[in-house]
Amino acid sequence: MNHAQLTALGRALRVLGEHGEALTATTPDAQLYEVKADLRRALDLLEESVSSEVPSTRCPEHPNGPVDKDAPDKCLLCETRRRTARRSQLNGTFPRGRSAAPEEPLVRTPSRYGVRADRPQPQQRWLPEMWTGQAWQLCGTPRRDRQEAEQYLAAQRRGSRPAMAYRLVHEFTDYEVLRIWGEPVRVDIEPMGNV
């Protein structure tokens, strides 16, 4: 619903509210026809502003998903997930995960990020960075070869719009600045020195 539709619908509903407050047992038929016309106008505006189909469930995650009449939110997908959780809790089983070796303790909930043994070994890379006037920023693809990274930075310095300074950072298990070209000077981003 865009802003114009929202404004028009709000105005039509406020008019209907005023009609509702003014209704009495002695309201003439002419005024009732006017209420009927305003009610139709509000329904037409509402019909124009609704763009999606009627939700089949009360689930905010799956409003048009499959229906389960027994579920509190009528969502089959969420109810299946809840039933699986209840069943595994009652049976003492857990979702399929990494099988533990006999000497390892049982991991009940698999980690989202994996365990130490699953992580790949650190790889050596060289990161070309440029000084933006505020901070060091990666200016190219991290390279596996140091000489290739230095050649890339040399080409950047000879380019048409070189940065104030460049540096090469060695990444292995930690970061180490190998070499800096130029002088990084902090530049105030506010005009006139923030005066």
Q: What is the pLDDT along the chain (195 residues), one digit of tens a residue?
A: 788 888 888 888 888 888 888 888 888 888 889 989 989 998 888 888 877 778 888 888 888 889 988 888 889 988 888 888 887 777 766 555 545 555 555 545 565 665 555 555 667 888 899 998 888 899 888 888 899 999 999 999 999 989 899 999 888 766 677 788 888 888 777 766 655
Q: How far apart are CA 42 and CA 27, in angstroms?
A: 21
User: Is residue 118 domain-resident?
Assistant: no
Q: Residue 13 falls within a domain, yes or no?
A: yes
Q: How many domains does the chain have?
A: 3
Q: Please report whether residue 116 resides in a domain.
A: no
Determine contact, residues 164/185, Cβ cutoff 8 Å. yes
Does one domain contain both 140 and 176? yes
pTM of the full structure: 0.33
Query: Hey, what are 68's tokens?
Result: 């389960």
**Of the candidates 35, 48, 38, 33, the residue with the CA atom closest to the CA atom of residue 11:** 38
Asked if residue 30 and residue 66 are part of one domain, the reply reads: no
Residue 113 lies in a domain: no
Range of the domain at 92: 55-98
Q: With contact defined as beta carbons under 8 Å apart, do 149 and 166 qualify?
A: no
For residue 147, being part of any structural domain is answered with yes
Task: Tell me if 143 sits within 8 A of 152, measured CB to CB.
Answer: yes
Stated length of the chain: 195
Q: What is the pLDDT of residue 120?
A: 57
Check whether residue 66 and residue 31 sit in a common domain: no
Task: Give the position of tokens 């070994």.
Answer: 121
Shared domain check, 63 and 41 = no
What is the per-residue pLDDT for 53? 79
Residues 89 and 134 in one domain: no
The verdict on residue 24 lying in a domain is yes
In a domain, 73, yes or no: yes
- Which of the 8 DSSP states describes residue 191? G
> Based on the domain organization, do 139 and 172 belong to the same domain?
yes
Query: Tell me, what's the pLDDT at 111?
Result: 58
Residues 6+ apart with CB under 8 A from 24: none
In this structure, are 141 and 172 located in the same domain?
yes
What per-residue confidence (pLDDT) applies to 174?
67
Residue 162 within any structural domain of the chain: yes
Give the pLDDT confidence score for residue 151 in this predicted structure.
Answer: 93
Instruction: Looking at the structure, tell me whether residues 136 and 176 fall in a common domain.
Output: yes
